Amino acid sequence: MDSFTVLNHSSILAWITFIPLIGMAAVLCVPRTNMSVIKGITYVATFVPLVLATVVYFGYDTNFQGYQYAQEVPWIKLGSFEVFWRVGIDGLSLPLVWLTTILLLVAVPASESVPRLSKAYYALLLLLEVGILGVFISLDYFLFYVFWEVMLLPMYFLIGIWGGPQREYAAIKFFLYTLAGSVLMLVALVAMYLDQGTFSIPQMMAIGKAGGWTGPSLLGMTFTTWVFWFLFIAFAIKIPSFPFHTWLPDAHVQAPTPISVILAGILLKLGGYGLIRACFPIVPHAFTDFAFALGVLGVISIVYGAYVALGQSDFKRMVAYSSVSHMGFVLLGMAALTEFGMKGAALQMFNHGTSSAACFLVVGVIYDRAHHRDLNAFGGVAQPMPRYWALSTVAFFASLGLPGMAGFVSEALTLVGSFQSADTRFQILVLISCLGVVLTAAYILWALQRVFLGPLNEKYKDYKDITGREIFSLAPLLFLCIFLGIFPFYLLDWMDIGVKDLMSILLLGK
């Protein structure tokens, strides 16, 4: 397998990735008037990948250092130009593959509230799943880039057609930001291929580890520094890290609820995953040179995102800015260059995926009834909707990082790992980031107070409590928020070898 270690060879990752594509083709063949069949196909095409991903998850050998369920098949060959279907997973990608299949299945019943539903919506939803899964399993940079681009168009149309009143503006802004990052990634990819003649990510990691990049310097910066910044900006846009975050609130506010769930729950994680798979370990020397600067960006995101969320009166925009804050912990933990920090960052990507998705579902429930998201216009909603109040409290406390919930474990690991950094300046960053933790508690508790507590606003007295369909979407995410807060080793044990392998590469860059 082209100089990287694998435990076994299997086509199961291809099936997980392309079953939604088969479902998409089936959806397009069904008459648009037969929506019950279209929905049924979509359920099957999202449920089967979840079953297969669960089989892979519990069949994964947590003691093996390398890639598992790998497959390598020649794809494109033009003279010396070769591209492979080269895929595999390790402890860093496997949880995100599993999370993707969970959230896409959850999005199907949540889509019942989307206006103007059509078979095009479900087809695009399935195509989006193909792109996301493909990125997480790719071990060839050309393949990685192809799947990265596959995600762009479905999300653009899902926001631009089925979104809110300013959906066109939000969709175009999302498209332009993401496209700008993609162009930078493509330039870096072509430069690395011309320098070394390979698209293999494991081979590029081995070359970067040995400091073997030979490309020319430009404007006083080395080849590896240019590659690092081009890749970092491409992935930082997707995280989104300050100051590349401004597309996110508009996209979230205008997107329909299930698309916001996917956007916050998994698309943002593509940026963090890209950093630990296809950026930092490929140019580790450049990464370690700029690690503190990235830590500063992480802390700015934590505090700034929480502070701006505190000032929001739009329920959904508040949750959107909270994602900027919570994803800042991912960047801070990575930059600290400690095992605890990296584990915290990897765990935070999964935990934020469940808690943020749950929060957007909660907002969607009240919006479907009130048709507005003005926090100051609610009041006393807990009285007619007690079950909704209880589930919403769990979701937002998970986002807050309450002890006993999954978010607490990942944020605590990130802060402890950052405090342990060999660079003592990170201790100051940790102290500053604690302000973000306080602000997070403030905006979440204030939002819950304005929506659910106090005197009942009479116009909401006849609202129906949360329905079975809405609970079906929300319950799996809340279960994971609680279960992984009590038993975090069900993720940490899977991530352990992958994190140690990554750290062994990064620390050589110091």
Q: Is residue 150 part of a domain?
A: no
Q: CA dist 455 to 211, 383, 391, 446, 458, Å?
A: 65, 9, 20, 15, 9
**Nearest residue to 204 via CA among 308, 96, 86, 369:** 86
pLDDT at 76: 84
One DSSP character per residue, 256-270 reads -HHHHHHIIIIIHHH
One DSSP character per residue, 449-476 reads HHHHSSSPPGGGTTPPPPPHHHHHHHHH
Residue 236, C-beta contacts closer than 8 angstroms, at least 6 positions apart: 181, 244, 271, 275, 297, 331
Q: Is residue 469 part of a domain?
A: yes
Q: CA dist 184 to 105, 230, 233, 271, 280, Å?
A: 32, 5, 8, 14, 16
DSSP 3-state of 87: strand
Q: CA-CA distance, 37 to 32, in Å (whole number)?
A: 10
Q: Is residue 275 part of a domain?
A: no
Domain that holds residue 301: 290-510
**Nearest residue to 316 via CA among 391, 248, 378, 373:** 373
Q: Locate all alpha helices (DSSP H) within 336-467, ordered by sequence.
A: 339-370, 386-400, 406-419, 425-452
Taking only the tens of pLDDT, the chain with its 510 residues reads 444 566 667 789 999 999 999 999 999 999 988 999 999 999 999 999 999 999 999 999 988 888 999 998 888 888 778 888 999 999 999 999 999 999 999 999 999 888 888 899 999 999 999 999 999 999 999 999 999 999 999 999 999 999 888 999 999 999 999 999 999 999 999 998 888 888 899 888 888 777 777 777 877 788 889 999 999 999 999 999 989 988 999 998 999 999 999 999 999 999 999 999 999 999 998 899 999 999 999 999 999 999 999 999 999 999 999 999 999 999 999 999 999 999 999 999 999 999 999 999 999 999 988 888 999 999 899 999 999 999 999 999 999 989 999 999 999 999 999 999 988 999 999 999 999 999 999 999 999 999 999 888 888 888 899 999 999 999 999 999 999 999 999 999 999 998 998 998 888 756
Structural domains in the chain (count): 1
The number of angstroms, rounded, from the C-alpha of 80 to the middle of its chain's C-alpha atoms is: 35
pLDDT at 510: 60
pLDDT at 212: 72
pLDDT at 3: 46
End-to-end Cα separation, the chain, in angstroms: 29
Q: Is residue 145 part of a domain?
A: no
Return the H-helix or E-strand segment holding 83.
strand 81-89
- Full-model pTM: 0.93
For residue 6, how many C-alpha atoms fall within 13 Å in the half-sphere facing its CB?
18
Q: CA dist 236 to 48, 330, 337, 348, Å?
A: 32, 11, 18, 16
Q: Is residue 370 part of a domain?
A: yes
Q: Is residue 396 part of a domain?
A: yes
**Nearest residue to 345 via CA among 301, 306, 396:** 301
Q: Is residue 53 part of a domain?
A: no
Identity of the residue numbered 383: Q
**Nearest residue to 113 via CA among 353, 354, 352, 363:** 363
pLDDT at 7: 67
pLDDT at 2: 45
The number of angstroms, rounded, from the C-alpha of 182 to the middle of its chain's C-alpha atoms is: 17
Q: CA dist 85 to 71, 72, 144, 246, Å?
A: 7, 5, 10, 35
